Amino acid sequence: MANLSLFDSEEPPQGSASDAARQIEALTAQLRHWEHAYYVLDAPLVPDSEYDRVYQALLALESAHPELVRPDSPTQRVGGAPVSAFEQVTHRVPMLSLGNAFEDDDVHAFERRVRDFGDLPPTQTIQYAVDPKFDGLAISIVYEHGVFVRAITRGDGTTGEDVSSNVKTIKNLPLKLQGKEFPPILEVRGEILMNKADFAAMNARQADAGLKVFANPRNAAAGTIRQLDPRVAAARPLRFFCYGAVIDREFSQRLQTQSAMMNWLKALGFPVSNLSQTAIGAEGLLAYYRDIGRQRASLPFEIDGVVYKVDSFALQENLGFVAKAPRFAIAHKFPPDEVLTTLQNIEVQVGRTGSITPVAKLEPVKVGGVVVSSATLHNLDEIQRKDLRVGDRVIVRRAGDVIPEVLPFDGNVRGADSIAFVMPDHCPVCGSAVVKEEGEAVHRCTGGLVCRSQLTQSIIHFAHRKAVDVDGLGDKLIEVLVDKGWVRSPADLYRLTYEQLISLERMGEKSVRNLLDALEQSKSTTLARLYFGLGIRHVGEATARDLASAFPVPAQLMDATEEALMEVNDVGPVVARSIVQFFRSADNRKVVEDLVNPEGIGMRWPVVSQESALAADHAFAGKTFVLTGTLSAYSRDEAAAIILERGGKVSGSVSKKTDFVLAGESAGSKLQKAGQLGVTILSESQFQSMI
Ligand SMILES: NC(=O)c1ccc[n+]([C@@H]2O[C@H](COP(=O)([O-])OP(=O)(O)OC[C@H]3O[C@@H](n4cnc5c(N)ncnc54)[C@H](O)[C@@H]3O)[C@@H](O)[C@H]2O)c1
Ligand SMILES: [Zn+2]
């Protein structure tokens, strides 16, 4: 459990017992405070990762000083105290917590413990029942003679609150069981949660109505279950997943395994996740962990890990319990996707179109499984809305592959000397004025290609794989070329000389030759790539393709009016204006002219655009042809080429999908087949008039 310690060292802190006692007391008080907010108020004060970090630190201290473990320590006791507004009910069988695994090693250690305590030979494989770890709240539901009678929260594990009237409103919970195969008293256990989408919609409604919004679906579900008015719960989208039951000896002997019990519960009408499975051995557990981890972001509900349970009831019984958790089960947690850290600085970056983006420099933290040390803050409005300042404690969130997001932390304590971020009024790179256009959120440097940063970014864009694609021309090298003053426009790339390049540090003869070759090769491109590579604001790859077919000659694009541009697919007034503005600059026009001038740099592209424009609206477009017999004016290949040029397809055999059969002299069986299937038959002269 490296990197979870509260202390820098991975060793349990040394020092006198009284130091340890004081630390234990401090950590306990801290955890208690957070638990109250989390379990009782349903409003967490810190991200779970922060709670877990301190909890692990307490655990480490306690294991170094077992004599200091107090029976009511957070490591020994489940959950929070029950709330008095509800009737308190003692659980017939306590509701426990689960031990945690964070790393693969912890899972292997779990299996070793199962083997040791279960007295199993090293060769025996162990089967487990595996589930997602639903991130909701635990509930115990009692059925008598197949009818719902009571639902009780976990509470402190021994005593919970009777929240029957709220739980009864959950739509996917059976109030009456199916079939007859159940004991007279059946207690099922599971998790109440809210789907992510339902949660977002509910929170939006709450906000609109000026009511309490919840931090996450778990807290929303827990808060809803402990509402005093069941009508409130009925109006909120709660769901239930069953993950176990308390059953008597007769049934446990009949069922024998956790997985058989889950199938039985499903048959009684309980909602069981279809992600629940069985797995063999620690390797099987880890494979399941990774599989569910990949699905996590796309699941409709939140999970914070997976749960492994020894499948055999007999073995479960042998294994028994530790303080507050069974020894036969463990929760394997996913890396946290929300972590507390410090906002150390806010820097600005100048992008290709002059956009000035504030970037958060963070004290590095591991979140979503990767180390994050900087994150975009997008724009000034965003910083003001979140009220972020340098020195603040902040939350970094990174779910799945999403880019990390910086969020304000409610518990942040700010010194009186803290200063709000100010957007510079001059570009930090070129000193040009910074402006913010009406209706836009971003500030921009007005320096254009005079600005080294804009220039560098626009060259990087031009050379990008999806643009003109200059192989081996990396960002760092571009920076150097711009700094040297050798490259002031994309056209200058093609004017670089061998002597210049070889004089650069870290450029050997071979790499210079390769780069010059790559530049030469990049001159053969497509018009769409060239248009995209110019880096006109709002012109993405798709728009560039449309522009290339509408304006197959660059001079046409340069002189196009806004009206003419708006004729093009997906080009609206904003894009049209941006293109016209781009070509209003004499510098930009010169760059394009230099690039395409056959006497100059001489970029070239296959002139497919006229044909594809022709193809798009020709009667042959999308149609399938079959050729048969001998034509007088064309060879078969020539005829096929004519069809392909106009967007049609040529196939070898006649089927229902054939649109036309082109029949020449002495056509044979294909003509017959066309007749049977009712396919249109074209004579050579009909074909010619269609062309
Ligand atoms: N942010 C905070 O301030 C704060 C405070 C207290 C606790 N917490 C969080 O609460 C958790 C600790 O609480 P805990 O004691 O409930 O432990 P736990 O949530 O780690 O594990 C036990 C619980 O897992 C649930 N569970 C979900 N799916 C299950 C399945 N398939 N099978 C069995 N059980 C399943 C059950 O409700 C069970 O009670 C930690 O994640 C901690 O971060 C956060
Ligand atoms: Zn600038």
pLDDT tens string 164-191? 999 999 999 999 999 889 999 999 999 9
pLDDT of residue 612: 58
Answer yes or no: is 98 a known binding residue. yes
Task: Note whether 509 and 531 are same-domain residues.
Answer: no
Residues 309 and 164 in one domain: yes
Question: Given 333, 367, 388, which residue is the final one in a domain?
Answer: 333
657 counts as catalytic: no
Per-residue tokens: 184: 């007279």
How far apart are the C-alpha atoms of 48 and 38, rounded to whole Å?
Answer: 10
**Same structural domain for residues 516 and 534?**
no
Q: How far is the CA of 284 from the centre of ligand 1 (A)?
A: 23
Q: Say if residue 131 carries a ligand binding annotation.
A: yes
Percentage, residues of the chain above pLDDT 90 = 74
What pLDDT is attached to residue 608? Answer: 63
Contact 78, 154 (CB under 8 A): yes
Residue 242, annotated as binding a ligand = no
Backbone angles phi, psi at 62, to 5 degrees: -65, -35
pLDDT in the model for residue 358? 97
Annotated binding-site residue? 451: yes
Best residue for ligand 1 mutational test, from 31, 34, 36, 38 (most atoms within 8 Å of Cβ)? 38
Q: Looking at residues 455-475, what average pLDDT do you find?
A: 94
What local confidence, expressed as pLDDT, does residue 368 receive? 87
What's the pLDDT score for residue 689?
A: 81
Taking CA atoms only, the protein residue closest to ligand 1 atom 5 is 35
Closest ligand 1 atom, CA of 34? 3
Q: Is residue 389 part of a domain?
A: no
How far is the C-alpha of 548 from the C-alpha of 532, rounded, in Å?
Answer: 10
Q: Whose CA is nearest to atom 38 of ligand 1?
A: 97
**Residue 131 CA, closest ligand 1 atom number:** 31
Q: How far apart are CA 691 and CA 687, in angstroms?
A: 6
How would DSSP label each residue in 218-252? Answer: HHHHHHHHT-S-HHHHHTS-EEEEEEEEE--HHHH
Q: Is 52 annotated as a binding residue?
A: yes
pLDDT of 615 reads: 60
> Within a domain: residue 256?
yes
The last residue of one of the domains, among 553, 587, 612, is: 612
Mean local confidence (pLDDT), 648-664? 85
Domain contains 482: yes
Are 185 and 314 members of one domain? yes
CA of 430 to the centre of ligand 2 (A): 4
Q: How confident is the model at residue 9 (pLDDT cuts 50, 70, 90)?
A: very low
What is the CA angle 525-526-532, rounded to 5?
105
Residue type, 288: Y
Query: Which pLDDT does position 617 carry in this prediction?
Result: 61
Residues 6+ positions from 305 with CB-CB distance below 8 Å: 132, 133, 289, 331, 332, 333, 334
Whether 83 has a pLDDT exceeding 80, the answer reads: no
Whether 542 and 586 share a structural domain: yes
**CATH number for 675:** 3.40.50.10190
Nearest CA to ligand 1 atom 37: 138
Question: Known binder of ligand: residue 498?
Answer: no
Answer yes or no: is pLDDT of 8 > 50: no
Residues 533, 508 share a domain: no
Q: How much is the pLDDT for 79?
A: 81
Both tokens assigned to 157: 């594990």
Inside any domain, residue 373: no
62 carries a ligand binding annotation: no
Query: Considering only CA atoms, which residue is closest to atom 42 of ligand 1?
Result: 48
Radius of gyration over every alpha carbon of the chain, rounded to an integer in angstroms? 35
Question: pLDDT band for position 636 (50/70/90)?
Answer: confident
Ligand 2 center from residue 458 Cα (angstroms): 13
Q: Are residues 256 and 138 in the same domain?
A: yes
Q: Where are the alpha helices (DSSP H) in 146-242?
A: 164-167, 196-208, 217-225, 230-234
Site to probe by mutation for ligand 1, drawn from 28, 30, 75, 133 as the one with most ligand atoms within 8 Å of Cβ, is: 133
Cα–Cα distance between 283 and 115 in angstroms, integer? Answer: 15
The answer as to whether 349 is a domain residue is: no
- pLDDT confidence of 489, banded at 50, 70, 90? very high
What's the confidence (pLDDT) of residue 14? 57
Output the ligand 1 site: residues, CB below 6 A.
Answer: 34-35, 38, 44-46, 48, 51-52, 78-79, 97-98, 131, 133-134, 138, 154, 191, 243, 307, 331
Task: Name the closest ligand to CA 339.
Answer: 1
**Is 154 marked as binding a ligand?**
yes
- SS3 of the chain: helix, strand, coil, percent, to 5: 40, 20, 40
Domain hosting residue 637, numbered range:
618-690
Instruction: Indicate which ligand has the atom closest to the C-alpha of 77.
Output: 1
Atom of ligand 1 nearest to the CA of 135: 27
Is the pLDDT score of 505 beyond 60? yes
* Ligand whose nearest atom lies closest to the CA of 450: 2
Whether residues 543 and 631 share a domain: the answer is no
Mean pLDDT of 292-313: 95
User: What residues have a C-beta under 5 A from ligand 2, the ion?
Assistant: 427, 429-430, 432, 445, 447, 451
221-260 pLDDT, tens digit each? 999 998 889 999 999 999 999 999 999 899 999 999 999 9
Shared domain check, 116 and 256? yes
What's the domain count of the chain?
Answer: 5
Least confident of 44-53, 215-224, 458-467, 652-661: 652-661
Distance from the alpha carbon of residue 215 to the mean position of ligand 1, in angstroms:
16
Q: For ligand 1, atom 17, name the residue with the nearest CA.
A: 97
| 548 plus 668 within the same structural domain | no
Q: Is the pLDDT of residue 475 over 70?
A: yes
Q: Give tens-digit pLDDT for 350-395.
A: 999 899 999 999 999 999 889 999 999 999 999 999 999 999 999 9
100 CA closest ligand 1 atom index: 20
Ligand 1 centroid, distance to 216 Cα (angstroms): 14
**Structure-token pair, residue 313:** 């009831």
pLDDT value of position 15:
62
Query: Assign residue 56 a region: left if phi > 0, alpha if psi is -120 to 50, beta otherwise?
Result: alpha
- Which domain-ending residue is among 461, 490, 522? 522
Q: How far is the CA of 310 from the centre of ligand 1 (A)?
A: 19
Q: In sequence order, what are the beta bridge partners of 191?
A: 138, 241
Whether 601 is covered by a domain: the verdict is yes
Mean pLDDT of the chain: 91
pLDDT in tens, 32-75: 999 999 998 888 999 999 999 999 999 999 999 999 999 889 99
Going by alpha carbons, the residue nearest to atom 16 of ligand 1 is 97
CATH number, domain of 43, equals: 1.10.287.610
| pLDDT at 616 exceeding the cut of 70 | no
Residue 321 lies inside a defined structural domain of this protein: yes
Q: Whose CA is nearest to atom 11 of ligand 1?
A: 48
Query: Domain for residue 409, yes or no?
Result: no
Assess whether 44 and 174 both reside in one domain.
no
Report whether pLDDT(614) > 70. no
Q: Is 97 annotated as a binding residue?
A: yes
CA distances from 652 to 40, 626, 641, 670, 676 (A): 73, 6, 14, 9, 17
CA of residue 571 to ligand 2 center, whole Å: 28
134 alpha carbon to ligand 1 midpoint, in Å?
A: 9
Task: State pLDDT tens for residues 535-550.
Answer: 999 999 889 999 998 9
Looking up residue 160, the CATH number of its domain turns out to be 3.30.470.30
- Mutate which of 75, 97, 137, 240 for ligand 1? The one with the most ligand atoms within 8 Å of its CB, which is 97
Q: How far is the centre of ligand 1, averaged over its atoms, from the C-alpha of 97 (Å)?
A: 7
Q: Is 175 in the same domain as 233?
A: yes
Ligand nearest the Cα of residue 354 is 2
Nearest residue CA, atom 35 of ligand 1?
133
The CATH number linked to 471 is 1.10.150.20
Q: Which of 30, 191, 308 has most ligand 1 atoms within 8 Å of its beta carbon, as the pocket-test mutant? A: 191
Q: What is the pLDDT of residues 554-563, one digit of tens each?
A: 999 999 999 9
Answer yes or no: is pLDDT of 1 > 50.
no
Residue closest by Cα to atom 29 of ligand 1: 133
| Ligand sitting nearest the alpha carbon of 451 | 2
